[in-house]
A and B are shown apart, each in its own frame.
Chain A
Amino acid sequence: MSKFIRPIIGLILFLIAWEMAAINFHNGLLPTPVEVASELFRSLFQREIYIHSLFSISRVLVGFSVAIVSGVGLGLLLGHYKLLGQYFTFIIELIRPIPPIAWIPLSILFFGLGNLSAFFIVFIGSFFPIFTNTYFGASSLPKILQNVAGTFEIRGFVFFRKILFKYSLPYIFSGLKTGLGIAWMSVIAAELIGAQSGLGYYIQLNRLMLRMDNVLLGMLLIGFIGLLLSKILDKLEVFAIPWKK
């Protein structure tokens, strides 16, 4: 059986299970896949769902970009300069387990309801996996390669860019993949509570109006966009790390 057929069969089984659950436990709250599909078809011709999706995506891109720059930069620095790392790794390890959603009250307090707050939650969610993986990569640069760089007098910025960064790239991408998943989950959480737009807000609004077909449509879109972003990152990884082919 081809590897393309199996996921399709899995999807069909999932849809059958959903349909049966919606029929057997039907109390008007769980819409059937057909109802959601027809809502999806109707929404495709309306601006609303695109605007909400774009708001969510743009928030992820901003927060995630800031997390990449700071997480990779700090991870390389602290991973290479072990003494410097000793000052900060404890505090980072202390903050790391705090889930992004726990930061929402603080972010609303500091940044109010809106974009800044969502950027911050996305940043917090994606920073730690990116930082931790980069740190691990940079600190595991083999001694022999450090010695070779010393012999050939490759130092300073060139060392960071051509040796440390490139060596750490597979680790960085591992962090980016985890970070992007958390970033996408974080933005929905932030929008559910503290935003006036985005897919999280769309779900919350429709929940209040008891439009469960729209709630499920929003959830499906979250899954679809998350999958799309993850696939884009996979393609970028192949392009950025050609020696690992």
Chain B
Amino acid sequence: MLKINNLTHFYSNANQQKVPIFKNFNLEIKSGEIVALLGPSGCGKTTLVNIIAGYILPTSGEIIVNGLKTSNPGKDRVVINQENDLFDWMTVYENMSLVSSSHQDVDKFLRLSGLHDFQLSYPGELSGGMKKRLSLARALAVGSKFIIMDEPFGSIDYDLRQSLYREFLSIVREAGITVLIVTHDIDEAIFLSEYIVLLGQKPTRILNKFKVNFCYPRQNEIRQLPEFMNIQKVIIEGYGSSRSAIGNNS
């Protein structure tokens, strides 16, 4: 589904010096997988999302989606952002029908996301959770089989986030969508994903990649299992070794 080959990207710092964010970075995600990219703030996660989405061009390297090299944004990989990314001047229905000409699809995904009764509402009249569901429904209505989520639940309170996690997993797994979740929240990464890719500091590299062996649908109780806590420990230790490696290098 997604292949990142030899990605290298530089950015200009305040002194106009070229600083590498990625150097020969590689990643592969298979069709239908839910993968979490976990990394500390400032490690280049959002830059990676922008490169995969086609919003910025990398200095070198390839982004291949469904076997095709990509460079521009497109419907084949839809991004759901932390901030509100809906068109506030359009009703719920208009937000959906702008991207999908099929009334049946719009209707189907509005029902799936529980927004069918709010078709005539404007995004400003919806709660934070409903807005996220609408963003997801819009991504599904366009027919995209690959969704990139950039800290999607970051601005939502804890209780609502738990119910959104379950709804989200149920929707994407039913639709067979490949998902790349970018987050710095360890709990969120373990709860949602099948694989976790642990990123280190700049230039960003993969510290570790491992499978999360919990069956779907997942319940809140899995957080009490020793396996869940073990994964948390591995991640925290991974960060620790990354930091000490940086300390030793400097």
A contact residues vs B (CB 8 Å cutoff): 144-145, 147-148, 150-154, 162-163, 166-167, 169, 241-243
Number of B residues near A (Cβ < 8 Å) is: 23
Q: Are the CB atoms of A147 and B88 closer together than 8 Å?
A: no
Q: Which residue of A lies closest to B122 (CB)?
A: A243
Chain A residues with CB below 8 A from B72, complex form? 150
Across the A-B interface, give the 8 residue pairs with the lowest CB-CB distance, nearest first.
A150-B73, A243-B122, A166-B89, A152-B99, A151-B73, A243-B89, A148-B85, A147-B55
Asked if B98 contacts A154 (CB within 8 A), the reply is: yes
Binding site secondary structure of chain B:
loop
CB–CB A151/B78 < 8 A: yes
Instruction: Select from chain B the residue with minimum beta-carbon distance to A151.
Output: B73
Q: How far is the CA of A145 from the CA of B123 in the complex (A)?
A: 14
Residues of B within 8 A of A147 (CB): 53, 55, 73, 79, 85
Separation of A151 and B98 alpha carbons in the complex (Å): 12
- Does B83 sit at the interface, judged by CB under 8 A? yes
Using A151-B73, A243-B124 as known contacts, say yes or no to A144 and B88 having CB atoms under 8 A apart.
no
**B142 in the interface, Cβ–Cβ < 8 Å?**
yes
The reply to whether A153 and B88 form a contact with Cβ atoms under 8 Å apart is no
Interface presence of B20 (CB below 8 A): no
B74 CB–A CB distance under 8 Å = yes
- In the complex, what residues of A have CB within 8 A of residue B78's CB? 151-152
Considering only residues 55-86 of chain B, those with a C-beta below 8 Å from chain A are 55, 72-75, 77-79, 81, 83, 85
Please give the distance in Å from A200's CB to the nearest CB on chain B.
Answer: 39
Is B129 part of the binding interface, using a Cβ–Cβ cutoff of 8 Å?
no
| Residue in chain A with minimal CB distance to B89 | A166
